[in-house]
Structure 1
Amino acid sequence: MLRFAPSPTGDMHIGNLRVAIFNYIVSKQRNEGLIIRIEDTDKERNIEGKDKEILEILDLFGIEYSQVMYQSENVRFHTAMALQLLVEMKAFNCFCSTEWLDKKRDEAKNSKTAYRYDDACASLPHELVIDNENPFTVRIRKPLEAIIVKDHIKGEIKFEPNDIDSFIIMRQDKTPMYNFACAVDDMLSDISLVIRGEDHVSNTPKQILIREALGYSKNIEYAHLPIILNDDGKKMSKRDDASSVKWLLEEGFLPSAIANYLILIGNKPPKEIFNIKEAIEWFSLENISKSPARFDINMLKHVNKEHLKMLDAKELSRYVGFADVEIGELAKIYLEEISTTKELKSKIKLIFSQKEILDELKESADILTKAIKSAPYFDEYDDFKNYIMKESGLKGKNFFRPLRVLLTGSEHGPDIALVYKYIKNYIGEIVK
């Protein structure tokens, strides 16, 4: 079983989507189920409706899953297992105040050393722990031996005992900390492989320590994906518009193209343009680069254009507000000069909108408009052009410049004869 575990605390980041896509692909390759686990235990940061938005995005990208679960539903198990660790003396109650711990952190910072909890409460007498009415957290005892993680992408990573202190697993309000809830949930769901971002690398030995303390012997594999960088070579953040999946979709990038690009970067695919189903045939975690991947919006535009070209005419027409094969074919003409459905929609909208005519073209445009409105239907552009030219008495630039504007809303663009082929049935609506 694999899992994708997003938090409902904001818009889905492209890094999270990449994790979801990779989990989906590998679950299909291994013929294992994929669980969507909404990690909602941090109630103060949760945003209402974000869980549904996450699921809608996954559905839009064709990511199939066997189950949706909410981490908050497992709190009773988290509590029970924390109590088990306390009974077995593998965890202890910590009465250190927040102020005291902050003071210790400041001291470590000033001395330029890594902060580690000093186990001040690790050996308190039993009677003091039982009779103490002060608020407390629960900490798991630090490891005595090194913890080794064999990562599918990063290789072997070794964590010495001093790298991990006796960290908190239950807050004062008796809600679980992230690492504890995550480790327990992975056990309960029988997870076999965890694919996630490399910002979780430091969490992995803690989660292994928790499972081992609970007597869980099954080995869980790991693969930590390198981060995605922006144009400045820094980690993409919420300040980067392109980091939001929602923004990319609103800008007119197809789900299939976004998925293609996120699989492509930092990878060694057999070809540049593909869909997720094709990727299932050849994808391998071992081919993912250990180095961060740089997000290139121009490359994404190129990939998106190629995916737009693969759409049939009727499907393409829906992206520009129609359900008409002819409009779809018209849209295909513009694919050479645009990269997104948003740009494409603006081009088609110009054709059917009220035209803005330059003063220098207004007189000629008025003459042409009258000629076009009185013209019979012509199947061929040359017949239409010859009739309008004769009726208007216009020639050369005085004819072709305003005609293009009247028919397309722009002075520049594809061959007007090719455009006419697909708009001839709409001439009355176009030239108002």
Structure 2
Amino acid sequence: MLRFAPSPTGDMHTGNLRAAVFNYILAKQRGEKFLLRIEDTDMQRNIEGKDKDIMFLLNLFGITWDNLVYQSNNFPRHRQFAEYLISKGDAFYCYCTKEFLENKREEAKARHEAFRYEDSWAELEKESNPKPVVRLRGSQNAMKFTDCIKGEIEFAPNEIDSFVILKEDGIPTYNFACAVDDMLYDVDFIVRGEDHVSNTPKQMLIHKNLNYDKEIKFAHLPILLNDEGKKMSKRDNASSVQWLLDSGFLPQAIVNYLILMGNKTPCEVFTLQESLDWFDIGKIAKAPARFDIDKLKFLNREHFKRFNEQDLAVLLGYKDSSIGALAKIYLQEASTLNEIREKVDRIFANKALVLAQLSLQNQEIESQEQEILEFKAEIEQLQKVLLEMLEEKDFTRSDFNDFKQQAMERSAFKGKKFFKPLRFLLTGFAHGPELSDLFPILRLYLKDILRS
């Protein structure tokens, strides 16, 4: 079984989603079940409703699970296993206070040494501390495992000192709950971020002391870097899955990019289901992968191209498939749903109101839109001419040259004074795709587009 084990303490970030995608793919490829485990042991940091947000997002990205587990439901089992380890001498009560341990850390720092817990400290404060923790005895031997991405990883003797498995309130620590649950649910392949590499030997040691000897494969995914080449953090917008969705990126494109990053794939554009045929976790690069928003925009456009016109229209909030065809033309210059929607919505916006808004925002708008204000008088005059033309003739089957010629003759405008106002009245922008390409669709809606 494979598992995705998010914590309901915050929003899902792209690294989380990448791990979920890879675990899901491997489960499907191996014909195994996929477990969603909500790791809710940190009671103080859990945020109500975040578990439902996680499930909603996974479904949105096409990731389904066979079993759902809340880690807190297994607290009684975790305590049973801790008591078993105490009974056989592999775990012990530690009465050290936080203040005592902090002083020991400062002493090690002053000696320029790495802090190591010493088992002899365990009962020094037994009389004054009624709430001990439970620690698992550390390893005296070297520990190593083979990572499917990073190769062999080894930890030196004594590098893993005795660590806490039950806190003073009886709640299991992350490593203990994780190791026990992986054992209980027969997880045999763990794919997660490389920030968990240091947790792996601790979880292996827990399994060893619980006499669990089933082989578990590991793959630790390299970190994601921002556009500056630094580790991606919460301060980076693209680290948030919700920000990507709110910005108009399609779930299909996001998944495509997360699989593509730092990977050798047979093609650039694909769906999650298509990747099941060829995905190989061993081909993920060891080096960190840089998150390139421009690459994601390219993939987003490519996935928009795969939409049929009716579905694209509905996605934009329109009923007619011709609006989907119009949107596809705008893929020349727009790459997100938000950008495409802005282009299409501006076509049908009241142009007098758009002009008024641009006038109010004069100092804040882009130079291209400031250009529109230079032709305000011509726009207003040409709009009257075009509306008069529509009263006299049905242009729904006319070609652009015929429409343009009549409008030019009746308005007596030429050059920029004609084409800039015409483009604005038809599209709401100063620049864009060729009007001759847009007109076969725009002509069906001219009265709505040119209304005053």
TM-score (norm 1): 0.95
Q: Is 1:426 paired with 2:445?
A: yes
In structure 2, the residue matched to 1:415 is: 434
Which segment drifts farther, 198-207 or 353-362?
Answer: 353-362
Instruction: Write the deviation string for residues 292-325 of structure 1: whole angstroms up to 9, x where unpaired.
Output: 1111111111111111122111222233221321
1:314 and 1:110 mapped to 2: Cα distance?
A: 69
SS in 2 for 1:161: coil
Describe how 1:333-412 pairs up with structure 2 within 5 A: 333-355=329-351, 356-357=354-355, 358=372, 360-374=374-388, 375=390, 376-378=393-395, 379-380=397-398, 381-412=400-431
Deviation at 1:132, TM superposition (A): 8.7
Task: Point out the more displaced range, 338-347 or 113-122.
Answer: 113-122
1:397, distance to aligned residue in structure 2 (A): 3.1
The CA deviation at 1:382 is 2.9
Letter of the structure 1 residue corresponding to residue 258 of structure 2: L
2:27 matched residue in structure 1:
27
**1:109-128 maps to which residues of 2 (within 5 A)?**
109-121=109-121
Counterparts of 1:311-330 in structure 2, within 5 Å, are 311-330=307-326
Task: Report whether the alignment pairs 1:144 with 2:140.
Answer: yes
Residues 139-177 of structure 1 show CA distances to partners (whole Å, capped at 9, x for unaligned) of 011123222211111111112331100100000001000
Alignment of 1:46-125 (within 5 A): 46-121=46-121
Contact 1:149–1:156 (Cα < 8 Å) also in 2: yes
Structure 2 counterpart SS, 1:37: strand
Q: Is the 8 A contact 2:408 2:414 kept in 1?
A: yes
Q: Is the 8 A contact 1:93 1:121 kept in 2?
A: no
Tell me which residue corresponds to 1:241: 237
Whether the 8 Å CA contact 1:92–1:121 is kept in 2: the answer is: no
Per the alignment, residue 160 of structure 1 pairs with 156
The C-alpha deviation readout for 1:192-229, integer Å capped at 9, x for no partner, is 10000000000001001001111112111111011011
Distance 2:187 2:287 in 1: 26
Which residue in the other structure is 2:13 paired with? 13
Query: What is the CA-CA distance between 1:121 and the residue it aligns to?
Result: 4.6
Aligned equivalent of 1:276 = 272
Q: Aligned partner of 1:210: which letter? A: I
SS in 2 for 1:157: strand
SS at match of 2:442: helix
Establish whether residue 304 from structure 1 lines up as the match of residue 318 from structure 2. Answer: no
Q: How many residues align?
A: 428
Retained in 2: the 8 A contact 1:138–1:170?
yes
Q: 2:209 is matched by which residue type in structure 1?
A: A
Q: Secondary structure at the match of 1:281?
A: coil
1:278 is displaced (CA, Å) by 1.4
SS in 2 for 1:113: coil
C-alpha deviation, 1:133, in angstroms: 6.9
Does 2:228 align with 1:232? yes
Which has the larger displacement, 333-342 or 177-186? 333-342
Paired with 2:94 and 2:167, the residues of 1 have a C-alpha distance of 10
Distance 2:373 2:168 in 1: 74
Q: CA–CA distance in 2 between the matches of 1:99 and 1:72?
A: 28
Give the whole-Å Cα distance in 2 for the aligned partners of 1:370 and 1:216: 82
Is residue 188–residue 216 contact of structure 2 (8 Å, CA) maintained in 1? yes
Kindly provide the amino acid, as one letter, of the partner of residue 181 in structure 2.
D
> 2 CA distance for matches of 1:246 and 1:142?
40
Sort the Cα spacing of 1:366 and 1:234 in 2 relative to 1 into closer, same or farther, 3 A: closer
Aligned: 1:170 with 2:166: yes
**What is the Cα deviation at residue 422 of structure 1?**
1.2
Secondary structure of 1:282 counterpart: coil
Amino acid at match of 2:75: V
Give the distance between the partners of 1:410 and 1:336, measured in 2 at CA: 15
Judge conservation of contact 2:141–2:158 (CA < 8 Å) in 1: no
Deviates more, 1:164-173 or 1:382-391: 382-391
Which amino acid letter does the alignment assign opposite residue 419 of structure 2? F
Could you say what the CA RMSD is over the residues aligned between the two structures, in angstroms?
Answer: 1.8
Alignment of 1:182-221 (within 5 A): 182-221=178-217
Equivalent-residue separation in structure 2 for 1:21 and 1:28 (angstroms): 11
CA contact (8 A) 1:319 1:345 kept: no
2:276 aligns to what SS in structure 1?
helix
1:294 equivalent in alignment to 2:324: no
AA at the equivalent of 1:327? I
Residue identity matched to 1:366: E
Q: Higher mean Cα deviation, 192-201 or 399-408?
A: 399-408
Report how far residue 359 of structure 1 moved: 5.1
Secondary structure at the residue paired with 1:120? Answer: helix
Structure 2 residue runs of 5 or longer lacking an equivalent are 356-371
Partner Cα distance (1:97, 1:347) in 2:
62
